[in-house]
């Protein structure tokens, strides 16, 4: 019964993606309609005649009303058709499938770096509260959160690529090419995780169960990492999930600076060239992926927190027990 409830919950969340798709497609199409610039003129150049531009607009379907184009686009989305690029004439879905693995890889590496650095720093700062170590971690976290990613990326390129020559400055032909963009993208996320971990750990280490664990003679390492950190993971998982989803779209800066052929740079170039099908398809794909990531975060909640897991597992047993108790009370 519990797994059936979990399945129904997942299906319900997936159905909620339908309004997300409807809203994202309409808002993006409306914003593109209000944005100055004509894709037909962009494609043909400034020397094209008005007749040529009108013919191109008709071929692109831009001379039709917005609401008509919106429903036609939705009909294509239901069939898995995200349209064709105005400029490359390539299928948008195929282009997304080719470029998204680059974005996913750089985001995954950067999040791995952020988790491996941010959480230990946050735990260390919480266990050394009000010391210079705690103050140093707070100042460093604030600095990293406030520091623009593009500025830090340019600093990394100038030092490690140009002056030292340890890693390439552009491209990801080798594994070394992934180092600088991953580090540049992870610095802000690491600081965010460190601050959240410190706050969650400070709340947990003041609880009674931590005092009880210490009174039983357990080592400080077991108390901190087995008891306190485990209970502090819920808000940390929230940050990791939301940051991971947001970084899929935020990777555009790293992809542009380091010439990575990912989905972010693909969307940015489409924006500058007014390639509407590419922009609509990319933003829609980002929105769906972000919704899926939030769903996975909720599922991970149930694996970490027994209170949430109890909502899905063992419901049938509890309901039978409650019915038995209710029948006994009525019989009396």
Q: For residue range 106-158, list pLDDT tens digits in order.
A: 999 999 999 999 899 988 888 888 888 888 888 888 888 888 888 888 898 88
CA distances from 103 to 34, 248, 257, 319 (A): 29, 7, 14, 46
Backbone angles phi, psi at 91, to 5 degrees: -70, 130
The predicted structure's pLDDT at residue 309: 56
The predicted structure's pLDDT at residue 329: 40
> Which pTM value belongs to this model?
0.79
Which residues of the chain are modeled with pLDDT < 70?
1-3, 6, 302-332
Q: Assign domain 96-316 to a CATH class.
A: mainly alpha
Domain ranges of the chain: 9-78, 96-316
- Residue 205, judged by CB atoms within 10 A of its CB (0-12, 13-18, 19+), counts as buried
The predicted structure's pLDDT at residue 308: 59
The predicted structure's pLDDT at residue 323: 47
The predicted structure's pLDDT at residue 330: 39
The predicted structure's pLDDT at residue 47: 75
CA distances from 113 to 181, 221, 226 (A): 12, 23, 22
């Amino acid at each position: 019964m519990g797994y059936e409830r979990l399945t129904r919950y997942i299906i319900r969340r997936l159905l909620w993606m339908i309004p997300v798709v409807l809203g994202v497609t309409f808002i993006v199409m409306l914003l593109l309609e209000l944005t100055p610039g004509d894709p037909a003129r962009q494609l043909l150049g400034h020397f094209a005649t008005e007749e040529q531009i009108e013919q191109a607009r008709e071929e692109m379907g831009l001379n039709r009303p917005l609401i008509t184009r919106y429903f036609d686009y939705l009909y294509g989305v239901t069939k898995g058709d995200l349209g064709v690029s105005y400029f490359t004439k390539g299928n948008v879905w195929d282009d997304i499938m080719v470029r998204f693995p680059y974005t996913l890889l750089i985001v995954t590496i950067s999040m791995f770096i952020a988790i491996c650095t941010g959480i230990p720093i946050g735990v260390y700062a919480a266990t050394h509260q009000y010391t210079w170590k705690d103050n140093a971690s707070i100042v460093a976290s604030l600095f990293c959160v406030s520091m623009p990613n593009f500025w830090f990326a340019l600093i990394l390129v100038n030092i490690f690529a140009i002056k030292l020559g340890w890693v390439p400055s552009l491209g990801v032909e080798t594994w070394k090419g992934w180092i600088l963009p991953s580090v540049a993208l992870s610095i802000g996320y690491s600081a965010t995780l460190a601050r959240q971990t410190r706050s969650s750990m400070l709340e947990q280490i003041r609880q009674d169960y931590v005092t009880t664990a210490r009174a039983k003679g357990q080592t400080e390492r077991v108390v901190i990492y087995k008891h306190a950190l485990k209970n502090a993971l819920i808000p940390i998982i929230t940050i990791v999930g939301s940051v991971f989803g947001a970084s899929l779209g935020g990777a555009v800066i790293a992809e542009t600076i380091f010439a990575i052929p990912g989905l972010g740079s693909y969307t940015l170039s489409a924006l500058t060239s007014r390639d509407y099908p590419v922009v609509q398809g990319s933003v829609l794909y980002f929105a769906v992926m972000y919704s899926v990531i939030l769903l996975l975060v909720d599922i991970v909640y149930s694996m970490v927190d027994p209170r949430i897991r109890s909502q899905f597992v063992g419901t049938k047993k509890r309901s039978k027990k409650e019915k038995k108790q209710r029948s006994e009370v009525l019989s009396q």
